[in-house]
A and B are shown apart, each in its own frame.
Chain A
Amino acid sequence: ELKVEQNPLFLSMQEGKNYTIYCNYSTTSDRLYWYRQDPGKSLESLFVLLSNGAVKQEGRLMASLDTKARLSTLHITAAVHDLSATYFCAGILNTGTASKLTFGTGTRLQVTL
């Protein structure tokens, strides 16, 4: 069974600062996803990482995947208030013909002035 752990659970950071969210998973995951959720809203897909060493960037967010360490990171560069949200990582385990997302606990990011 796939288990996904994120840390930290809560992150308060000042605008302009850099920080990293960590996502560890327990067993081989076919791919790793990052999602964003604003309060009261649904999940927005940010990145999908398919292979070891994969790195993807969008604006101030950069995600990477190290399959040997079973670790993915979401790096935030020069944070702005608009990035305040909860970020989830999720792994996917193909079980024969089926697949399901297993989510981490989420990291609530608060960017302050």
Chain B
Amino acid sequence: KAGVTQTPRYLIKTRGQQVTLSCSPISGHRSVSWYQQTPGQGLQFLFEYFSETQRNKGNFPGRFSGRQFSNSRSEMNVSTLELGDSALYLCASSPLRPDTQYFGPGTRLTVL
């Protein structure tokens, strides 16, 4: 079974731009969660989607948004990028909630 895939793997943007990251969960998994990992703040929960509905949201500003499609693929969008948004963005999927979450390889975003 293929694992969680994320695209792109690396991204460089400048302040003020916006970015969209994509995540394809493991086949059959309906829950997709997003996390941000930085050296200073560690791993922080962004949001979770289940059956195209956002079920939970972390403490991030409204510039961070996401969505899930009917095939369970998910995207997250960050608008008006700031330097502090530079991070590894990890997507995780699970078949049910709660259940073990399986993480993708991540997208490393650098904001200049």
- Chain A residues in the interface with B (C-beta under 8 A): 30-31, 33, 35, 41-45, 48, 88, 90, 92, 94-95, 97-106
Contacts and interface: CB of A to CB of B under 8 A. Distances in A.
B56 A101 contact: no
Interface string B40-59: 00111100100000011010
Contact of A100 (B33, B103, B105, B106): B33
SS class, residues of chain A in contact with chain B = strand
A97 B35 CA distance: 19
B5 to A, nearest CB: 11
Contact of A48 (B33, B44, B100): B100
B42 A98 contact: no
Contact of A103 (B43, B48, B55, B104): B43
Interface residues of B, number: 21
B7 interface: no
B45 A101 contact: yes
A65 to B, nearest CB: 15
B56 A99 contact: yes
B7 to A, nearest CB: 14
A101 B35 contact: yes
26 contacts: A30-B98, A31-B98, A33-B100, A41-B105, A42-B90, A43-B90, A43-B92, A44-B103, A45-B100, A45-B102, A45-B103, A90-B43, A94-B97, A98-B56, A98-B97, A99-B98, A100-B33, A100-B45, A101-B35, A101-B92, A101-B101, A103-B35, A103-B42, A103-B44, A104-B42, A105-B42
Nearest to A97: B55
Contacts of B103: 35, 42-45
A101 to B, nearest CB: 6
A60 to B, nearest CB: 21
A92 B56 CA distance: 12
